[in-house]
Amino acid sequence: MPRLGRPRALFFDWHGTLADTFEAMYRAVEEMLPELGALGLQARLLPPGGARLPEHEALVAHVRANRDLPREVKRARRISRTEIFEILFGADDEAKHVAHEAFDRCYARHVGEVLPFEPGVRAMLGRLRAAGLRTGLLTNRRRALFSGELRRVDQGGWQDLFDVLVCGDDVPRRKPAPDMVLRALRELGLPAGPEVWFVGDSTTDVIAAREAGVRAIFYNGAKWDPQQLVRIFPPEHPPEAIAGNFSALEDLALPPLRRA
């Protein structure tokens, strides 16, 4: 864990970082994948040999043949729908937009219980704010869907924990594009730079942070081992720090001797 200096603001991803919505997310992905042909997306899947990693190649091949997710992906619950669409469609932004829109329609039918990803998330966010840090939440979820989840998590009470909220339909491009980070910076009147951190659990979050010019902090909630972590990040977009839990993140942002 490097010492990065005290931040002025921390932006957080939602799913897989602050909140656990894996059950509804995977159900929605499984519902929309059989629609790939009708959506015009089957032919836009990455061609054989186009994926960066062998496991990504296997995922694309499985979806192309079966139009569902491999059992091991669903069992591991490590990658989000955004990462799945990045793997399936690569740089085809139009295809990913269509996929996200279809996912949102399906997700609205499955959204249910929303749990904090770790115990004590609300308290951690409160301590960051009490120490004078600005906080933001950046999610690829459509705002109408996200607003309901935010009201339900922890039986309510998280709405006042963030200075800025940016959702997937607030910007032209979802993560991994930097649009959401840049919008949050504009709304808070902050410049991009090392005093703003974006904390997320996926390569897409790290890429968005790096492209926007803020610090990329990877939250390893999925407990990837070191060998896997070396492989999953594109060489040009590594995180600047990795936190295995929120206690480690809090120590990084507010060193214990300086919290008071």
Taking only the tens place, the pLDDT of each residue in 22-61 is 999 999 999 999 999 999 999 999 999 999 999 999 999 9
Question: Which residue do the tokens 């010492």 mark?
Answer: 3
User: Strand 9-12 vs strand 134-139: parallel, antiparallel, or unpaired?
Assistant: parallel
The residue-averaged pLDDT of 245-251 equals: 94
CB 192 within 8 A of CB 185: yes
Of the candidates 121, 113, 101, 119, which has an alpha carbon nearest to the alpha carbon of residue 21? 113
Domain ranges for the chain, please list them: 9-20+114-258, 22-107
CATH class for domain 9-20+114-258?
Answer: alpha beta
Tokens of 247: 């206690």
Collapse the DSSP code of 136 into the 3-class scheme (helix H, G, I; strand E, B; otherwise coil) and give the result.
Answer: strand
Give CA–CA dist 6/123, Å, rounded: 19
User: What residues form DSSP beta bridges with 136?
Assistant: 11, 164
User: What residues form DSSP beta bridges with 198?
Assistant: 11, 216
Q: What is the pLDDT at residue 260?
A: 46
The residue-averaged pLDDT of 64-81 equals: 93
Tell me the per-residue pLDDT of 120-176, one tens digit each, with 9 for 90 and over.
999 999 999 999 999 999 999 999 999 999 998 988 889 899 999 999 999 999 999
Give CA–CA dist 33/27, Å, rounded: 10
How many Cα atoms occupy the beta-carbon half-sphere of 178 within 13 Å? 14
Question: Which residue do the tokens 């590594």 mark?
Answer: 238
Average pLDDT across the chain, whole number: 93
